Amino acid sequence: MKSASAALLLMAAAGLAAGCAPGWTQDVRPWWTLHERDFAPIVPAQTTKAEVQALLGKPLLTMVFRNLDEEVWDYRFSDGVKRHIAHVYFDPQGRAKYYWTHPDNCPFSPAGCY
């Protein structure tokens, strides 16, 4: 009985610790480790989704726009003291079309504001 109680207590402590962990997984880079210069290697019509993910990590958010035939990956990054959002647009073949950045108007929101 004592070992079952200890195991239950250990699982509860692990659950609490996980609740205090940051809201990203291992492959999502925290916003303060990304900068605008990190997006510079993205070459339109050449850079693939796999290359973007290897370069920047897993996107914070992905969206598919079927009527536009594109997929958009969102990243947050730091530019000095301000946070920004970068959108990387992909064509149906999975190649980058372009990317653009703008200030994050809701820096404390989990996914930002647009």
Closest CA to 40 of 101, 113, 106: 101
Closest CA to 56 of 33, 80, 83: 33
* 96-103/70-79 β-pairing: unpaired
Give the three-class secondary structure for 59. coil
Q: What is the pLDDT of residues 32-73, one digit of tens each?
A: 889 999 999 999 999 999 999 999 999 999 999 999 999 999
Given CATH 3.30.1450.10, say whether it is the number of domain 24-103.
yes
pTM above 0.95, yes or no: no
Cβ contacts of 18 within 8 Å, gap of 6 or more: none
Helices (H), 21-112: 49-56
Q: What is the pLDDT of residues 76-108, one digit of tens each?
A: 998 888 889 999 999 999 999 999 999 988 766
